[in-house]
Amino acid sequence: SIGGATVTVGARALRADADGRFRAEGLSRSPFFLDVSPPPPYAPRENVLVEGDGDEVVVRLARTWRVQGRVLAPDGSSAQAVVQAHGLRCDVSATTAADGRFDLRGVHGDRVSVTLHLARADRERGWMPPPRARVTSESGEVVLRLRQGVFVEGILVDPAGDPVPHAEVRLRGEGRRYAKERLVARDGGRFRIGPIEPGAWKLSVKSRTDGLGDAKDRSVAAPASDVRIVLPRIPVLRVRVIGDDLGDFQVNLVRASEGADERTRSRALRRDGTFVFDAVDPDATYALFVHRAEDDRFSLATDVSPTEGEVVLALRTGLDLGGRLDLASLDVPLVRASTDSY
């Protein structure tokens, strides 16, 4: 028997006596759940299902154990890290001592693994944590040796050679589906991604600059320090709306060319009254419709071409969103599109 444990049933907290017994009266009919917080060296139990009325409840608790070991740098010297043991309902962490040793107390469970979290300065050296280590109460001292990684460095530029800042750079291993590392390029367009393992990688870039496209699956061999990625120019349609209080306005774009897909693309207008549609066809014409719910202001333009530069629209009044748009009142040629459904 384990005495002194705290047993929580609903909003009630009970204390088990020296024999480990507790009694809760006036409870609603089962089933219900209880939590047990025992003194060391026993592990807590949560959400213990109790079924049956009037029956004695027996809660079995497991003993906790310790994980002790040492963290070593790639050259074999002592290293600092945060060591974490985690498993089902188990999450214990500790920082290593000056000699790299750690002592995790209160560990419990059958499937427990140990991982490391390194300081930024150590990651900048290229140090990488080892793969997670499975441990048991019989594991003895655990030695965790850091690995020496490498970096992929380079610059993002546009076709004119000017740096492209703030793009997202992603790196994934050959044959892998998801990115392993990602970061945002600095103001000068430069990036340094890692530490990673040496070998073949695929690098992709997600552009955040209007008029510049993405780069996908460029092969790089790590380590690399002179990667140069040129982001291609793509045709865009730039929109500027003139008016006050432009928050929550929607810009709707539909292609007007004969035989084209006429599905409408709808985006939120930026608060400065601008928006840029990418992935447009430079040889096609488009219709633009700007509106906001519960507002009678709107703007409409047709036969718009991406080659015209920025399209400037002025808001006008007279739109009743409770019904249909009165196309006869607009002194513009309408396209064969879904615009008249507004």
Condensed to tens digits (0 to 9), the pLDDT of residues 99-127 reads 999 999 999 887 899 999 999 999 999 99
Q: pLDDT tens-digit profile of 191-243?
A: 999 999 999 999 999 999 988 999 999 999 999 999 999 999 998 888 888 88
> Averaged over 286-312, what is the pLDDT?
83
Q: pLDDT tens-digit profile of 40-72?
A: 888 888 888 888 666 788 898 888 999 999 999
> Averaged over 128-145, what is the pLDDT?
93
User: Does the pLDDT value for residue 263 go beyond 80?
Assistant: no
H or E segment and range at residue 121: helix 120-124
Asked whether the beta carbons of 286 and 235 are under 8 A apart, the reply is no
Mapped onto helix, strand or coil, the DSSP state of residue 108 is coil
Compute φ and ψ for 207, nearest 5 degrees: -75, 145
CA distances from 250 to 164, 239, 241, 268 (A): 28, 12, 11, 5
> Residue 252's Cα: distance from chain center in Å?
29
The pLDDT, as a whole number, for residue 83 is 97
H or E segment and range at residue 123: helix 120-124
The pLDDT, as a whole number, for residue 330 is 41
The pLDDT, as a whole number, for residue 89 is 77
Q: How many CB atoms lie within 10 A of CB 191?
A: 23
Dist CA 216 CA 219 (whole Å): 9
- The predicted model scores a pTM of 0.71
DSSP string, 280-325: --TT--EEEEEE-TT--EEEEEEEE-GGG-EEEEE-EE---TTS--
The pLDDT, as a whole number, for residue 331 is 40
User: Does the pLDDT value for residue 320 go beyond 70?
Assistant: no
> Averaged over 316-334, what is the pLDDT?
47
Rg, the chain, Cα only: 32
The pLDDT, as a whole number, for residue 52 is 67
DSSP string, 190-245: EEEEEEE-SEEEEEEEE--STTB--EEEEEEEESEEEEEEEPPB---EEEEEESS-
